[in-house]
Structure 1
C-alpha cells in the first residue's frame, strides 16, 4: 500500500474508471475537489467512465445529477450494474430471451433496451437487484424459475445500504435468500466482481496497464480494480477504511482527487487510445 505525497511518482495514466458515491459526491452533496479534478481531466483529454453497483438509477439519472454539480458527461460514461447484467445476458446467453426481473424500473429498462422480454411466464433468466417493493410472491416466482433451470444473475452483493437513519437491506440480502432457497449461486456482475469493470474498459478503449480504478471502499471498488488488473486508488472521502489482511490493498491512497497527477503523467506519453 502506498500513501500519496508530493514525492509520489504516478504511473502513466491514459484512462480512469471511478466509483460515484463517496468519490464524486456524498448522497446529494458534491465533493468539490472531485468535480474539479474530473473537469480538469476531461479538458486534458483523459477519458473516464463511472461505475456503480446501484441498479435503481439509469445513466441518464447520473448525468442529470452530475450536471447539477457542474460536471457534464454523456450517458455512455456511466456503467451501472443493471446495464452490465443486461449485456452479460446478451453476451453469455445469446439464445435466451425471456427474463424475470426483481428490481427497480431501471433494471427492467436495461433488459428491454437490449431486446430481452421481461416476463414472469417460464423465464429463462432471473435477474435480481434492489427492490424496495419486494414481496414473497416475487421471490416465489424467482425460486420456481431457478429450480426449473433458469440462469440466476444478481446485480451486486451489497447486504446493507446506508440511510439517513441507519441502514436498510441491500440487493445482496434478497439475492442471498433466493440463493439459499434454491441452493444455486448467482453470477454477480457488480463490484467486487469484474464484469462491470470490463464493460467500462471496453468503453474507454484504453490499455488496462495504464488505466486506474478510483474508489472509496476497499472491499468493493479496490478489489474489483485489482481483480481486473488495474492500478487502484483509494480516496478517503467516503466510507471509512477498514483494514482486512485478507483483501488486496490499494496501490495508492489519497485524501483528494487533486492529488492524482493524471495530466502530468499522460503528457509524458503519446496520447492515443489503445484496444
Structure 2
C-alpha cells in the first residue's frame, strides 16, 4: 500500500516565488494517487487559501484549502485548547491573526494573556520593545515555529527563529514553540489524514525540523536537497533520513 505523504512547502515545492524542479509532477502524482496527502508548513504568514492561490499562480492546480495545515493554524488550535478565550499580542502577519480570530481570540496590546511571535517582514524595534515589556509583565511567550532562515530565490532570509531569539535574549525567557519539530504538528497532520504514523512519510528540506519531527513521530522520512539542508550537513546530526533526494521530482511514491 502506498504511504500517505505529509510534505513541507518552502524549499520543497518552491523557493520564494519560484517553483522547484519536479514540484508540479510531484503534486500531480499526489493528486492522481490513492493515498491521502497533506502540506504541513511552518509558514505562519499565509492562510490555506493564500497557499492554494500561490501554487495556482505558480502553475500547480487541483489542490483545496483542506490540503494544508500551517503553524498558524496549529498555534491557534493549541492556544484554544489551553484557554477558551484569551487576548494576544501578535508579532506576525495576517495569516496568524486570521487563525487566532477564527478560534475566538482577541488581539490586544493591553495586558494580553499571550505574546505570539511568527515571521514578520515588517518587524520593527517598536514591536520587539512592546513584546519584551508584555512578556516581562507576565504574558506567556509563544512561537509559531523555530526556523532561523527560510529558503528564497537566490539564497536564504531571516525567519521566525531570529525574531524569537532577539525577544528571548531581552527577556531571559524561552518561547513555547508549536510548529515543527513539535510532535503536536505531526499529530495534527496524521489525525487530519486519518492514518497511523507508520503509514506516513514526512517530506522536507530541513534536518532540524521536518526530518527530526517526522522521525520522532514514527514516520518514514525523506529529505530533499532543494532547500536548507545539504548532503554534507546530514553528517552533523545524530540521526539520518530514511531517503535523500535532490528534489521531489525524484520521489517514487510507490517505493517509499
Query: 229-238 vs 154-163, which deviates more?
Result: 154-163
Q: Which residue of 1 aligns with 2:216?
A: 227
Task: State how far apart, in whole Å, the 2-side matches of 1:165 and 1:26 are.
Answer: 9
Q: Which runs of 4+ in 1 moved over 6 A?
A: none
Aligned with 2:173 (options 184, 190, 196) = 184
Q: Trace 1:76-225 onto structure 2 (pairs within 5 A).
A: 76-91=66-81, 93-164=82-153, 167-225=156-214
Deviation at 1:179, TM superposition (A): 1.4
Task: State how far apart, in whole Å, the 2-side matches of 1:35 and 1:26 are.
Answer: 14
Over 3 Å counting, the alpha-carbon distance change for 1:160 and 1:262 in structure 2 is: closer
Over 3 Å counting, the alpha-carbon distance change for 1:144 and 1:56 in structure 2 is: same
Summarize deviations over 1:179-213 as a string: whole Å, max 9, x none.
Answer: 12222211112223332222212211111110010
Aligned residues of 1:25 and 1:31 also touching (Cα < 8 A)? yes
Aligned residues of 2:151 and 2:227 also touching (Cα < 8 A)? no
Q: Which residue of 2 aligns with 1:46?
A: 35
Unaligned runs of 5+ in 1: 1-11, 266-275
Unaligned runs of 5+ in 2: none
Q: Trace 1:4-43 onto structure 2 (pairs within 5 A).
A: 12-43=1-32
Q: Secondary structure at the match of 1:243?
A: helix
Q: Which residue of 1 aligns with 2:61?
A: 71
Q: Which residue of 2 aligns with 1:6?
A: none
Aligned residues of 2:132 and 2:171 also touching (Cα < 8 A)? yes
Summarize deviations over 1:87-125 as a string: whole Å, max 9, x none.
Answer: 11012x124411110111221111101111111111001
Aligned residues of 1:213 and 1:231 also touching (Cα < 8 A)? yes
Query: 158-167 vs 238-247, which deviates more?
Result: 158-167
Aligned residues of 2:115 and 2:139 also touching (Cα < 8 A)? yes
Task: State how far apart, in whole Å, the 1-side matches of 2:247 and 2:129 are.
Answer: 46
Aligned residues of 1:225 and 1:232 also touching (Cα < 8 A)? yes
- TM-score under structure 2 normalisation? 0.89
Aligned with 1:60 (options 34, 49, 73) = 49
Summarize deviations over 1:130-168 as a string: whole Å, max 9, x none.
Answer: 122223332232222222322211012222344556554
- TM-score under structure 1 normalisation? 0.83
Query: 131-140 vs 95-104, which deviates more?
Result: 131-140
Aligned residues of 2:16 and 2:153 also touching (Cα < 8 A)? no
Larger Rg: 1
